[in-house]
Amino acid sequence: MECLKRGGVIAYPTEYCFGLGCDPANERAVRRILAMKQRPWQQGLIVIADQPGRLRAVIDWHRPQLPAPALASWPGPHTWLLPARPRVAPWLRGRHPTVAVRVTAFPLVRELCRDSHMALVSTSANRSGRPPLRQGRAVLAEFGDDIDLILDERVGTATEPSTITDAATGVTFRG
């Protein structure tokens, strides 16, 4: 996906709703998403991939006991808070020492990651405090020209967003 490699922001269907995505290493693109959503950077964002290896740039794998439950739940709708590598920027992980990561089972998103050779920022396509959008035309109406590309396909059949669990404590924050 050339759009992602050039620092673009895309909207795409996920298991539950449309997501906004970009290259997690591109600060300008991440900040665009935060501004579009009117979301404070301190909250952090989710990074998704088609395989665990694409998350090496953001996860500190030196604590092997922590990723085991995550690896056992993937691919699937399970987001895990895992220790962030020291170089992971605050605009991606927020004010946290962890980063939220998921290996998706959703075919279109897996293809996006595979074709772009990268993990992606994945956050619901909505402004903070508003419901997530489930149709491409609703994303276009909400964000218009702020989005560089909309992949207007159907969202999955999930009835709620992915769970978010802290791997160190086992506490589930969402789901």
Which residue would you say has higher pLDDT here, 56 or 1? 56
- The predicted-structure confidence for 10-25, as pLDDT tens digits, reads as follows 999 999 999 999 999 9
* Ranges of H-type helices in the chain: 2-5, 27-37, 67-73, 90-93, 107-116, 136-143
Q: How far apart are the C-alpha atoms of 51 and 102, rounded to whole Å?
A: 9
Please give the CATH number for the structural domain made up of 2-174.
Answer: 3.90.870.10
Supply the pLDDT for residue 139: 97
Residue 175 has pLDDT above 70, yes or no: no
pTM, entire model: 0.94
Residue 70 has pLDDT above 70, yes or no: yes
Between the alpha carbon of residue 18 and those of residues 2, 68, 97, 138, 147, the distances in Å are: 20, 29, 27, 9, 12
Supply the pLDDT for residue 28: 97
Mean predicted confidence (pLDDT) in 56-80 = 88
- The predicted-structure confidence for 118-164, as pLDDT tens digits, reads as follows 999 999 999 988 999 999 999 999 999 999 999 999 999 999 999 99
Tell me the domain boundaries of the chain.
2-174
Supply the pLDDT for residue 64: 67
